[in-house]
Amino acid sequence: MRDRLRDAETITAVAITILAIGLHWIAATSAGALWRDEANTVGLATLPHLKSVWQNIQFDSFPIFWPLLVRLYAQIFGPLNDPAFRAIGFLTGLSVIAGLWLVARTMGNRCRSFRFRCLAYAA
């Protein structure tokens, strides 16, 4: 009985994960142009000097790490590359799902419903 319950739980978790990845993919491929907050972050991150980024961080809604990451990403893929920025959003979403799986695996059998709630939040 216990093995069947664990198998059903695993199958459900995998199905929810596939659904979450599919929804992230749909959002990444059909979102269109960057939204205002995303465009603001790209604009801030691609200012000519890092000092300018630091001086204007107060006008952005993200902590300094994110604009710095976007700045590095823009230097690699180009500052006017919307699909590349959608890809970083998709990869961030996948990272969240992977993190939830890691937490669920770490929790083990201590709290089964917690695993489902984590995965449901990802979807």
pLDDT for the residue numbered 22: 92
For residue 123, is pLDDT > 60? no
Give the distance from CA 107 to its chain's centroid: 22
Copy the structure tokens of residue 37: 């907050």
Q: Are 123 and 20 in contact (CB under 8 A)?
A: yes
Q: Are 21 and 105 in contact (CB under 8 A)?
A: no
- Residue 123 makes CB contacts below 8 A (sequence gap 6+) with 16, 19, 20, 23
- How much of the chain, in percent, has pLDDT values that exceed 90? 20
d(CA 50, CA 39): 18
Q: Among 20-24, 73-77, 116-120, which is the least confidently predicted range?
A: 116-120
d(CA 106, CA 83): 34
Model pTM greater than 0.85? no
**Mean pLDDT across the chain:** 82
